[in-house]
Amino acid sequence: MRALEDAHFSGATLRRPVTIVAAKGARLEDAEGKSYIDLAAAQGWANVGHSHPRVLAAIQEQAGLLVAHTESSYNDQRALWFSELTRALGATLGKSDRGDLTRVFPCSSGAEANEAGIKAARLFTGRSEMVALKRGFHGRTFGALSATANQKYREPFLPVVPGFVHVLPVEEEIEKAVTEETAGLIIEVVQGEGGVHCLPEEFLLFAQERCRKTGALLIVDEIQTGLGRTGRLFACEHSGVSPDLITLGKSLGGGIPMGALVWREELGTFKPGLHGSTFGGNPLACAASRAVLSVLQEEKLSERAARLGERIQSDLLSANLKAVREVRGLGLMIGVELRHRVTPVLKKLMDAGVWALPAGPTVLRLLPPLTILEEDLDTALLVVKEVLDG
Ligand code: PLP
């Protein structure tokens, strides 16, 4: 089987030599029957775990009715999803003097949501300049790639989209870069791929203020941080930052590909044909996402993420592990800065049945499903500590 896949593989993903055939909760199973504790939420998308029974039931039921039809017609699942998603955003981010987050462009991935965000910022302001942050990651399609700072991703594909600058997440740089010419400033509240760096609250509030002063739009990319991951439904809640546009993806569809751009009513709408996505807002993804939103709220998973995240951080810190320089993060989005490269650590963890992620060359990233069983977490943490103390 692996040879068959290798013969056609694009090469675009760094792949592990295992064949995953099944998953449930926070457990992955390979073709040889070996079980792995998933501390990666399968690249950060499985916030409610793999195959959550309520998400599975919603997918099964909707699949028997209508899988896909575009926004060129109305659909009950899409209407309810719009309403439930924007209600959740309104309830958590509160009212703003700049209007509520009520308009939604549905799509099929995080990068696509950011593409829509960049286009919307240019369209709604009539300006072209975009500001993004160093260490930021927003995806690999051309617009999203132009907002992504790391040269490693951009270099082979230059020129990227013109009009983007990248600045350090410090007030002086934002003050200089965000001007009356700026269409939008795009940020992650916790920079995930860039090494799990939490942006300070004062900086976030300063950036928001600078956007308001200049008329630039603040786009918050919550593709990785969103939906309970950081201990709140949306990471901007921690600082009270109130974005003009917010992008979502990863766990939004509970495993069914899905992304969304949500923005303030006052900004306007796209004219027909100016943007689009064949599978955006398809009823199957909307039904799955409705189940995800409901599970997150009913099972109080943000609170659980906050509690378990604190426990992991204090457990790792108090163990004084030889390989560890720093432990940081928010909720169940944790970065462990190592004194050496992370690749051999990931390999040892895999051998011991724990699946984790890197975030740059020396950071071990832990993003377990918010539903992970405490006994699985305990077992995984024992393994992590053993590997990091060896
Ligand atoms: N934005 C952030 C913060 C991400 O972490 C990612 C993916 O890792 C993306 C955007 C891109 O999402 P996708 O891979 O669904 O295109």
Residue 94: what pLDDT?
63
Q: Which atom of ligand 1 is nearest to the CA of 139?
A: 11
Residue 354: what pLDDT?
98
CB count, 10 Å around CB of 180? 11
Residue 99: what pLDDT?
76
* Average pLDDT estimate for 351-368: 98
* Average pLDDT estimate for 383-387: 98
pLDDT at 92 over 80: no
Q: Is 138 in the pocket of ligand 1 (CB under 6 A)?
A: yes
The per-residue pLDDT for range 263-286, each reduced to its tens digit, is 999 999 999 999 999 999 999 999
Q: Is 229 in the pocket of ligand 1 (CB under 6 A)?
A: no
Question: Binning pLDDT at 50, 70 and 90, where does residue 2 land?
Answer: very high
Question: Binning pLDDT at 50, 70 and 90, where does residue 95 land?
Answer: low
Nearest CA to ligand 1 atom 9: 139
Angle between helices 301-318 and 374-388 (to 10 degrees): 30
pTM for the model stands at 0.98
Helix (H, G, I), strand (E, B) or coil at 322: coil
Helix (H, G, I), strand (E, B) or coil at 357: strand
Compute the distance between CA of residue 199 and CA of residue 100 in angstroms, rounded to an integer.
24
pLDDT at 1 over 90: no
| Strands 197-198 and 217-221, bridge-based pairing | unpaired
The per-residue pLDDT for range 39-77, each reduced to its tens digit, is 999 999 999 999 999 999 999 999 999 999 999 999 999
CA-only gyration radius of the chain, Å = 20
Q: What is the mean pLDDT of the chain?
A: 97
Q: 354: Cβ–Cβ under 8 A, 6 or more apart, which residues?
A: 36, 37, 39, 380, 383, 384
Question: Binning pLDDT at 50, 70 and 90, where does residue 148 land?
Answer: very high
Question: Binning pLDDT at 50, 70 and 90, where does residue 97 land?
Answer: low
147 CA distance to ligand 1 middle (Å): 12
Nearest CA to ligand 1 atom 12: 110
Give yes or no for a contact between 14 and 23, defined as CB atoms under 8 angstroms apart. no
Q: Is 235 in the pocket of ligand 1 (CB under 6 A)?
A: no
Q: Is 109 in the pocket of ligand 1 (CB under 6 A)?
A: yes
Is the domain covering 2-51+300-388 a CATH 3.90.1150.10 domain?
yes
Residue 163: what pLDDT?
98
224 CA distance to ligand 1 middle (Å): 7
Q: Which atom of ligand 1 is nearest to the CA of 144?
A: 10
Q: Is 108 in the pocket of ligand 1 (CB under 6 A)?
A: no
User: In a mutational test of the pocket of ligand 1, which residue from 250, 256, 258, 357 has the highest number of ligand atoms less than 8 Å from its CB?
Assistant: 250
The per-residue pLDDT for range 164-203, each reduced to its tens digit, is 999 999 999 999 999 999 999 999 999 999 999 999 999 9
259 CA distance to ligand 1 middle (Å): 10
Cα dihedral 301, 81, 71, 42, rounded to 10, equals: 10
The CA–CA distances, whole Å, from 136 to 42, 87, 133, 147, 148 equal: 21, 28, 5, 8, 6
Q: Is 376 in the pocket of ligand 1 (CB under 6 A)?
A: no
State the CATH class of domain 60-298: alpha beta
Q: Which atom of ligand 1 is nearest to the CA of 114?
A: 10
Residue 96: what pLDDT?
65
The per-residue pLDDT for range 310-354, each reduced to its tens digit, is 999 999 999 999 999 999 999 999 999 999 999 999 999 999 999
Beta strands in 116-189 (DSSP E): 129-133, 164-167, 182-187
CB count, 10 Å around CB of 63? 14
139 CA distance to ligand 1 middle (Å): 5
Q: What share of the chain is helix, strand, coil (3-state, %, to 5)?
A: 40, 20, 40
Compute the distance between CA of residue 161 and CA of residue 121 in angstroms, rounded to an integer.
14
CA proximity to 351, closest of 320, 378, 384:
384
Q: Is 226 in the pocket of ligand 1 (CB under 6 A)?
A: no
Domain boundaries of the chain, sorted by first residue: 2-51+300-388, 60-298
Give yes or no for a contact between 106 and 272, defined as CB atoms under 8 angstroms apart. no
- DSSP H or E run through 152: helix 151-154
297 CA distance to ligand 1 middle (Å): 23
What tokens does 265 get? 């009513």
* Average pLDDT estimate for 96-124: 93
Beta strands in 125-181 (DSSP E): 129-133, 164-167
370-372-374 Cα angle (round to 5): 120
Q: Do domains 2-51+300-388 and 60-298 have the same CATH topology?
A: no
Residue 78: what pLDDT?
98
